[in-house]
Amino acid sequence: MSSAPLLPAGAADYDDSYYCGVPKSMLFKTGPDGLSEEEAERRLAKFGPNQLAEKKDNPLLKLLLAFVSPMAIMIWIAIAIEAVIKDWPDFGVLLTLQILNSTVGWFEDWKAGNAVAALKNALKPECQVVRNGQHRNMEATLLVPGDRITLAAGAAVPADCEISEGKPIQVDQAALTGESLPVTLHCGDSAKMGSNVTRGEIEAIVTATGGETFFGKTAAMIASVDEQGHFQKVILQITFGLLCVSFILTGIVLGYLLLNGEDVLQAIAFAVVLLIASIPIAMQVVCTSTMALGCRMLAEEKAIVSRLTSIEELASMNMLCSDKTGTLTMNKMELQDDLPMWTAGITRLDVLEAACLAAKWKEPAKDAIDTLVLKSIPLKPLDRYEQVEYEPFDPSTKFTLATLRERESGKVFSVMKGAPQVVLSKVHNVAQIGASVDAKIMELASRGIRGLAVARTNAKDQWELMGILTFLDPPRPDTRATIEKAYEYGIDVKMITGDQQTIAIETCRVLGMGMSVLTPENLPGAEAMNDRNLGKNYGGLVENADGFAQVYPDHKFTIIEILRQRGYVCGMTGDGVNDAPALKRADIGIAVQGATDAAQAAADIVLTAPGLSTIVTAILYAREIFQRMKNYVIYRIACTLQLLSFFFFAILAIHPNAFGFEDHLYFKLPVIALVVITILNDGCIISIAYDHVKPSHTPEKWHFTEIFTVAVVLGGVAVVSSLLLLYWGLNTNEPDSILKKMGLSELDYGQVCTMIYLKVSLSDFLTVFAARTTGSFLSRLPSWHLGIAACVAMGASTVLSHYWDDILDLPEMKSLTWKWIGFVWAYCVAWFLLQDAIKIVTYWLLYKMNIGSEAHHQGLMERKEKMVQKRDNRRALTHESVMRGESLMKASVRMTGKSTALQLQPDHAKYKDMSSADILAELNALESKVRALKDALK
């Protein structure tokens, strides 16, 4: 066995002929049998794994930085003021808030970062390497300099390497150079880590790994920018809006306090803490933890999210363009007995042998077709041939080609396998056998049977069609039910395949999708990819189709672009390198199980389980995550408005001295009370990431008018109830006080403050339960996480209200009796029920005004019903056409009066004004011409 020599004991100084101190002449002179395992292990120990040194954030440094964020700085200012005025209780509570806020935020961010890193680590790239004379798949991190590897279409180049002898390959180096067009690499050229092979297959010798690669050396100079998704933008916009409102109202309050003689430091401290309490400090923490939890849930369902923010787009998706093979079908080819042949003197074994020769039979199978043929016969007899050249399958050519030499005789010949129409076009006697081959292909396709044509060159170097291997790729057992479920949840599913139209129609029929399947003749060419009028010109045609057959990669891109221009949020599944452009163009790119490195790199979600059901499950999980986020946003806006508006009106409009409390010109809670409210509130609301929600039956969308309207209503009801209770509490010293008439005792000012503290706290926590549903708060029970968190927070506030003197002993606030606490509880629950009822009415009014998610969902439900009706109509139309023995287009004209295809084709505008009779006459004439042309070929 030929192998590169072992490493020398000593290391030389670096120059151009050395790699890390080792002579290149010794490292890279690897024979066809590759390295031995012993040598590979020694090199791995010396040069390290083939991975880039990741920048690991120092967790201690990140924790320290959390204490100097903009919000943390504001809290430090308040702490400093309390220290100056020597208000040590407030100082201690503010310091506690600072520690809790910074550490919890850091911990959730660290936990989310670990979750995302774990998910990405689950996608370990592999490569094909030659070790000990055996081809095998191996993790790319285990490559070492001198390894002999195979570079094939769809695979990422795992390390810097030098191309060996063979046909040139094409490599996409856009990630390295920005060049959009693939580069052709010949023997001796260098392929760089970070690029992707787009066409061809060849062996190469690894020349650099890890940090010694070109990519590794330049990575440190490239600044990485975190992609900001739409949801992050929404959160930032909401936070900025609340911040502006908070600054304005707090500034007015501060000015009022200073104008009325309040101590400057006391006034500033109160204003700063009010600002801290009203700003959604925990918003980013809640969002991050909810997203991370959602990613873990999706990973458990075999869907790995490579871009965290894609969860929102997944929740909004209403169109899924699905690849047929492997997603809708099993991708487990079953070879059939039927094997029609067109060359005299050959047998079934000859055809199968030729199909195997048109593959790398000594290497692991590259795809399902190679797996099928390589398992059909014993491979040992094929060793009598030497494969001189090999051209792997390419979606743009749809065939595989190999040139072989018979070892004993030296005879050289070529074999080819691929799509029947493509292979047929290359044989020398196509004029004689074309009609019979077409007829056989159509007959097979009508039964859902696929064909793989096999051809070879004869003594005159002419291509001869040997035969057509027939096989079935049965639909997955759950695909039909999954498609129905997708329709139920407002997701239209369209099949995209390179298979023949007849096979696609039969598959659609079996899956219950409707059988309107278009071919590339109905679609614009590659030159129209960037046409902004694609949606206008072809939108109706594409929308009404159930699938697309015989398509190439550029057609997939165009289909996605048309649907996006029509306003759809599109998902696209794919597995090959040529699917990458469409995956990237789609709102949600989904790489199916077994996808190439290029497809995985372009995708937002990578599936680790086969089938369509995983995608639909992921969509429903994403909608649940979206609902949790929306509920939290409504709640957080309502809380901000409650705190700000209450203290704004309480300070400016209600004067305690008018009720007999001469030492208090205006009402305000002590700083410590606001801080406690903030601590308990933020600690409670993190649990909303685990709340019970039901996925919407229609795609999600942000409705800001609805969100702000409902939040204002919830917050407004809470403000009114708090102001009313404050008025009643201050009025308890009057003989006609309504609270005295209810048997409650008179309150001093400190007890009034404690009562309002308890009221605001309970209103905050109860508002969570109103914000999380559009109907009654009882229509969906909360999760135990949220229930327990709310009970703990409200219980803590209640206990603190009764034992305030014993716990804190502050003169500004005094303990309440249990009777008063019971009254505040009853008062808050009564107003909560009213708040919930007003919320229900608000949603109803928004729906009647055609505003918000309910109206949006109703519109989508109506569109979904129309979509299903169209599908059912197409099924009936196809059935009718089959029963009458007429074409689908003619049936459409007869039943609808017009041909949809003719109406929507921009090049056939002249047909718009034609009557049904004229269109039928035109179709009959065209059919006669087609029959005459087919007869001429016989």
Using CA atoms of 584, 589, 595, 599 in order, give the dihedral in degrees to the nearest 10.
10
Q: How far apart are CA 84 and CA 78, in angstroms?
A: 10
Taking Cα atoms as reference points, which of 120, 204, 129 lies closest to residue 165?
204
Q: What is the largest CA-CA distance in the chain?
A: 121
CB neighbours of 883 closer than 8 A, spacing ≥ 6?
A: none
Antiparallel, parallel or unpaired: β 517-518 and 492-496 = unpaired
307: left (phi over 0), alpha (psi -120 to 50) or beta: beta
Contact 137, 191 (CB under 8 A): no
CA distance 482 to 424: 37
Which H, E and C letters describe 294-315, residue by residue?
HHHHHHHCCEEECCCCHHHHHH
Residue in the block written with tokens 């005094």: 814
Please say if 160 is a catalytic residue: no
916-937 helix and 888-896 helix, angle to the nearest 10 degrees: 170
Q: Do 191 and 163 contact (CB within 8 A), yes or no?
A: yes
Query: CA 865, CA 428: separation in Å to the nearest integer?
Result: 53
Do 396 and 440 form a contact (C-beta atoms < 8 A)? no
**Quick check: helix, strand or coil at residue 154?**
coil
Question: In whole angstroms, what is the distance from residue 213 CA to residue 66 CA?
Answer: 35
The alpha carbon dihedral of 156, 159, 162, 166 has a sign of: negative
- 3-state SS, residue 162: strand
Count Cβ neighbours within 10 Å for each residue of 230-255 and write b for 16 or more, e otherwise: ebbebbeebbeebbebbeebbeebbe
Place of tokens 């989508």: 860
Phi, psi for 910 (deg, rounded to 5): -65, -20
Do 59 and 171 form a contact (C-beta atoms < 8 A)? Answer: no
Q: Which residue is listed with tokens 């498609």?
A: 483
Q: How far apart are CA 710 and CA 123, in angstroms?
A: 42
- Say how far apart CA 674 and CA 662 lie, in whole Å: 24
Contact yes or no for 460/418 (Cβ under 8 A): no
CB contact set of 462 (below 8 Å; sequence gap of 6+): 427, 428
- Closest C-alpha among 522, 593, 574, 580 to residue 320: 574
Q: Which residue has the tokens 């706290």?
A: 761
What CA–CA distance (Å, rounded) separates 295 from 291? Answer: 6
What's the CA gap between 841 and 843, in Å, rounded? Answer: 5
Single-letter amino acid code for the residue at 329:
T
- Rounded CA Rg of the chain: 36
Beta bridge partners of 162: 190, 205
Query: Active site residue: 147, 160, 172, 323, which one?
Result: 323
**CB of 784 within 8 A of CB of 853?**
no
Q: What token pair was written down for 374?
A: 């390589």
User: Contact 21/43 with Cβ under 8 angstroms?
Assistant: no
Q: How far apart are CA 739 and CA 436, in angstroms?
A: 98
With contact defined as beta carbons under 8 Å apart, do 407 and 385 qualify?
yes
User: Which residues are the active-site residues?
Assistant: 323
